[in-house]
């Protein structure tokens, strides 16, 4: 049987008929072609005629109990009456029926049936038996939504989809389960769910339709699609999916890149389990950079030196680990540094560099700059960590309280001070900036931090963390695919992702000398 539905089922749920009607119209205007109408959200009895005056695409009628994540306030008898009314109303092409009532409410007319199971606590051990029973309940589509307790739960759901005997929509809820929502399409799910308004709190981890369409190649994902991911904890703030998926689409590559929240203690087990997908490459962020360096079968010289990696690439003999933070930082500084008198590139050798911070990003940059021959001084709020890093790279460590003493040619902020939402903070006093020196901030959100604003006003040459982030992402993409990334396009993509309003203002002000740049979210130096 052909389902003939869009790959995104957009969920609309509001308490007032007026707002439901508005959202139905707006959802279609924004591209929705298949909508689930959550009748359990309505505060009053359903007025079908009032709602369906705005019908413009196939609709699913759902009346969800509180035990299944819904808001139905009445009795079960009343709920089932509303479901039957929806079925016979003639307004809905689909109805959602929980597995325990699907045998009671029989098929009627041409209305297709989604038989569903929801578990907001776990992925039950007997999920296979539950699913087998559901497949025998006269379903046009079987739906399973369960709560992930570990990243490996995603794999359980995807394997169930891979063997599905009939059309099945299955995913894990919660932030740990997000990859399954996207990758379900790779394993044969006819559609996935998205919220029209994700602020409604419809289901844990449910993305918005606009985010799905803007970030992921929803209509192109298939069995042959290669999978890449970014690992971290937390991971929701990552902009890597926007960048990598945009590049895949631009270069017409059959690939998708997803965020994976992986708690520290579950990293190795997750990497081992995901071998069966497989995942062809990972970007790695906090807190996993040091651990992945020990788990790879082969490492780059920079990883061997720093004992930290931000990139894993699948090879025939296992994973190859690299660190693109380090070269990205050096090239970011070089991109704004003045050339020498003879026209050759900026020479780092012998330059005085003050580096603020001692976390993972600081470590990579410290090693990279020392390899360039600079005289490095490190100051961090955690003085013991600064001493350790200084000893490791052959630098000098000073106390945080005296960081303003002495001179420098290059000043680098590797702390999160000034990062959104604390945008009125700066790691240094304005008097510390020296005209014509180079000031580099690894924070990229906002791009123009108070640290950089003040440095620019004092006549410094500035480069922001955006430049570093773009360059390290570009190097990762090249390692994943062998393709040269368009860096300028990546810069514009990241600016739009961080803030459409800020991006518009920056575009209007081009030519005013605004510095550009980026970096990964910095690891704290505490």
pLDDT at residue number 521 = 39
- Bridge-based pairing state of the strands 318-322 and 352-356: unpaired
- According to DSSP, the residues that pair with 116 across neighbouring strands are 98, 143
User: Coil, strand, or helix at residue 171?
Assistant: strand
Residue 431 per-residue DSSP state: G
Region 508-524: mean pLDDT is: 33
pLDDT at residue number 54 = 83
pLDDT (tens digit, 9 = 90+) per residue, 161-198? 999 999 999 999 999 999 999 999 999 999 999 999 87
Instruction: Report whether pLDDT(508) > 70.
Output: no
pLDDT (tens digit, 9 = 90+) per residue, 477-488? 999 999 999 999
Region 427-448: mean pLDDT is: 96
Q: Which of 420, 419, 460, 457 is nearest to 440 (CA)?
A: 460
- Give the separation between CA 279 and CA 118, rounded to whole angstroms: 28
- Bridge-based pairing state of the strands 311-315 and 318-322: antiparallel
Q: What are phi and psi of 159, to 5 degrees?
A: -70, -35
Q: The pTM is what?
A: 0.89
Q: What are phi and psi of 94, to 5 degrees?
A: -135, 155
- Give the separation between CA 118 and CA 440, rounded to whole angstroms: 49
- Give the separation between CA 239 and CA 120, rounded to whole angstroms: 28
Instruction: Report whether pLDDT(396) > 50.
Output: yes
- Give the separation between CA 187 and CA 144, rounded to whole angstroms: 14
pLDDT at residue number 500 = 52
Q: Is 289 a catalytic residue?
A: yes
User: Coil, strand, or helix at residue 12?
Assistant: strand
pLDDT (tens digit, 9 = 90+) per residue, 89-105? 999 999 999 999 999 99
Contact criterion met (CB below 8 Å) for 354 and 408? yes
- Structural Rg of the chain based on CA atoms: 26
pLDDT at residue number 57 = 96
pLDDT above 70: percentage of residues in the chain: 94
pLDDT (tens digit, 9 = 90+) per residue, 272-281? 999 999 999 9
Identify the band that residue 498 occupies on the pLDDT scale cut at 50, 70 and 90. confident
Instruction: Report whether pLDDT(505) > 70.
Output: no
CB-neighbour burial class of residue 508 (10 A; exposed 0-12, middle 13-18, buried 19+):
exposed
- Give the separation between CA 108 and CA 97, rounded to whole angstroms: 13
Instruction: Report whether pLDDT(512) > 50.
Output: no
Q: Which of 334, 308, 331 is nearest to 321 (CA)?
A: 308
Region 387-408: mean pLDDT is: 96
pLDDT (tens digit, 9 = 90+) per residue, 120-170? 999 999 999 999 999 999 999 999 999 999 999 999 999 999 999 999 999
pLDDT at residue number 143 = 98
User: 190 or 513: which carries more pLDDT confidence?
Assistant: 190
**How many other C-beta atoms can be found within 10 angstroms of the C-beta atom of residue 457?**
10
pLDDT at residue number 53 = 85
Instruction: Report whether pLDDT(502) > 80.
Output: no
- Give the separation between CA 52 and CA 453, rounded to whole angstroms: 53
Region 199-216: mean pLDDT is: 91
Give the distance, in angstroms, between the CA of residue 100 and the centroid of all CA atoms in the same chain: 35
pLDDT (tens digit, 9 = 90+) per residue, 344-384? 989 999 999 999 999 888 999 999 999 999 999 999 999 99
pLDDT at residue number 200 = 76
Q: List the beta strands (DSSP E) in 420-474.
A: 438-441, 461-463
Q: To the nearest whole number, what is the mean pLDDT of the chain?
A: 92
**How many other C-beta atoms can be found within 10 angstroms of the C-beta atom of residue 89?**
15
Identify the band that residue 2 occupies on the pLDDT scale cut at 50, 70 and 90. low
Contact criterion met (CB below 8 Å) for 65 and 72? yes
CB-neighbour burial class of residue 513 (10 A; exposed 0-12, middle 13-18, buried 19+):
exposed
Instruction: Report whether pLDDT(511) > 50.
Output: no
Q: Which of 209, 205, 206 is nearest to 196 (CA)?
A: 209
Say which of 55, 226, 289, 351 is annotated catalytic: 289
pLDDT (tens digit, 9 = 90+) per residue, 215-257? 999 999 999 999 999 999 999 889 999 999 999 999 999 999 9
Contact criterion met (CB below 8 Å) for 364 and 325? yes
């Amino acid at each position: 049987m052909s389902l003939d539905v869009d790959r995104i089922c957009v969920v609309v749920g509001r308490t007032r008929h007026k707002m439901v009607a508005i959202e139905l119209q707006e959802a279609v205007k924004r591209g929705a072609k298949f909508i689930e109408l959550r009748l359990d959200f309505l505060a009053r009895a359903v007025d079908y005629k009032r709602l369906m005056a705005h019908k413009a695409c196939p609709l699913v009628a759902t009346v969800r109990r509180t035990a299944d994540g819904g808001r139905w306030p009445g009795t079960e008898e009343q709920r089932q009456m509303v479901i039957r009314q929806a079925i016979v109303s003639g307004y809905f092409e689909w109805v959602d029926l929980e597995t325990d009532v699907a045998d009671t409410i029989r098929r009627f007319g041409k209305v297709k049936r989604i038989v569903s199971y929801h578990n907001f606590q776990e992925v039950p051990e007997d999920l296979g038996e539950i699913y087998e029973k559901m497949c025998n309940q006269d379903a046009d589509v079987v739906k399973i939504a369960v709560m992930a307790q570990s990243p490996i739960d995603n794999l359980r759901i995807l394997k169930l989809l891979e063997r599905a005997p009939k059309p099945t929509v299955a995913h894990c809820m919660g932030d740990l389960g997000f990859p399954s929502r996207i990758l379900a399409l790779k394993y044969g799910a006819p559609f996935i769910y998205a919220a029209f308004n994700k602020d409604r709190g419809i289901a844990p981890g449910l993305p918005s339709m606009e985010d799905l369409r803007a970030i992921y190649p929803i209509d192109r994902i298939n069995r042959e699609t290669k999978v890449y991911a970014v690992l971290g904890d937390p991971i929701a703030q990552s902009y890597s999916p926007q960048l990598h998926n945009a590049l895949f689409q631009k270069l017409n590559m059959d690939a998708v890149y997803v965020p994976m929240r992986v708690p520290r203690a579950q990293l190795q087990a997750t990497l081992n389990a995901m071998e069966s997908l497989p995942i062809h490459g990972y970007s790695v962020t906090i807190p996993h950079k040091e651990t992945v360096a020990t788990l790879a079968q082969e490492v780059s010289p920079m990883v061997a030196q720093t004992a930290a990696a931000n990139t894993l690439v699948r090879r025939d003999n296992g994973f190859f680990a690299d660190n693109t933070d380090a070269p990205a930082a050096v090239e970011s500084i070089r991109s704004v540094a003045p050339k020498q008198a003879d026209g050759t590139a900026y020479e780092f050798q012998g330059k005085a560099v003050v580096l603020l911070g001692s976390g993972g990003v600081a470590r990579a940059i410290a090693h990279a700059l020392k390899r360039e021959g600079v005289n490095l001084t490190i100051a961090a709020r955690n003085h013991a960590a600064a001493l350790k890093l200084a000893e490791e790279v052959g630098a000098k460590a000073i106390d945080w309280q005296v960081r303003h003493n002495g001179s420098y040619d290059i000043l680098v902020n590797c702390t999160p001070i000034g990062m959104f939402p604390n945008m009125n903070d700066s790691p240094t006093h304005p008097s510390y900036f020296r005209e014509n020196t180079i000031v580099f901030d690894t924070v990229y959100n906002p791009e123009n931090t108070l640290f950089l604003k003040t440095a620019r006003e004092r006549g410094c040459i500035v480069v922001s963390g955006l430049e570093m982030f773009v360059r390290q992402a570009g190097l990762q993409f090249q390692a994943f695919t062998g393709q040269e990334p368009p860096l300028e396009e990546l810069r514009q993509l990241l600016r739009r992702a961080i803030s459409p309003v800020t991006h518009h203002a920056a575009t209007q002000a081009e030519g005013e000398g605004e510095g550009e740049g980026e970096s990964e979210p910095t690891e704290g130096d505490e």
